[in-house]
Amino acid sequence: MYDYIKGIIISKQPAASKGALVIIENNGIGYAINTTDRAIADLGGLNAESKIYVTLIHKEDSMSLCGFANREERDIFNILQSVSGVGMKSALVLLNEFSGCELISAVIRGDYKELSRAKGIGPKLAQKIIIELKDKLINWQKTAPIDLSDITTDVNAPEETVSEVQAVLFSLGYSPDEAKNAIKLAFASAEKKDSPEEILKEALRYLAQSAQD
């Protein structure tokens, strides 16, 4: 229903005060948006115009907006909620503790101990998140695979690494062209070209920069 809301930041509430919340006014309407301390830090100051990517949570007895400073974390939030046992609050807790890239990296590594650092995320739930989320990210149906021939011509790009990064970017809603350009730039700048985590981090960084331009 909503992709993003652009307006003036009226107030910010940190996570320690019953959950992070930001209020953005647009055309005379104040939108109360559940968020994270990370997102609050990335958004502008009070009375500044800002853009926040949102998703609408519709339950039988309530509706809530959740928002993030960039599209990637909003989409990771949505994917997290598809894991059984992970609701809005747990997903926000995870993205308050970890950046989207840190969270995906932990999932790819299978590091449940890292995920269980987040408040209220026990080892069992962390393991469940890794099992279900890794399957959703890595085994995403690639209906438009990327032609990597021009990437591997100049850069030593392990096929397995590229395949993992490509699948994650597709699962986050990026187009083949967006993913291909980001992967090419990531391989050009990354030091560890056999590390899916580093390539993904670089690719997401380039995508975030292009979204701001």
Note the pLDDT tens digit of each residue in 147-200: 655 555 555 666 777 777 887 888 777 887 888 888 888 888 877 766 777 888
Residue entry with tokens 């062209």: 177
**pLDDT by residue (tens digit) across 65-122?**
999 998 888 988 998 988 888 999 999 999 999 988 788 888 878 889 999 999 889 9
* Helix/strand/coil for 87: coil
| pTM exceeding the 0.85 threshold for the entire prediction | no
Q: How confident is the model at residue 145 (pLDDT cuts 50, 70, 90)?
A: low
Strands 21-26 and 49-58, how do they pair?
unpaired
Report which of 192, 211, 144, 212 is spatially closest to residue 202, judged by C-alpha positions. 192
Distances 166 to 71, 84, 130, 148, 157 between C-alpha atoms, Å? 17, 25, 18, 10, 12
pLDDT at residue 147, rounded to an integer: 61
What are the residue ranges spanned by the domains of the chain?
A: 4-68, 74-138, 149-212
User: How many residues does this entry show for the chain?
Assistant: 213
Spatial neighbors of 209 by CB under 8 A, at least 6 apart, are none
pLDDT at residue 106, rounded to an integer: 86
pLDDT at residue 141, rounded to an integer: 44
pLDDT at residue 143, rounded to an integer: 47
pLDDT at residue 183, rounded to an integer: 86
* Helix/strand/coil for 54: strand
Q: How far apart are CA 176 and CA 15, in angstroms?
A: 36
- Please, what CATH class does the domain formed by 74-138 belong to? mainly alpha
pLDDT at residue 146, rounded to an integer: 57
Average pLDDT over residues 123-147: 73
> Looking at domain 4-68, which CATH architecture does it have?
Beta Barrel (2.40)
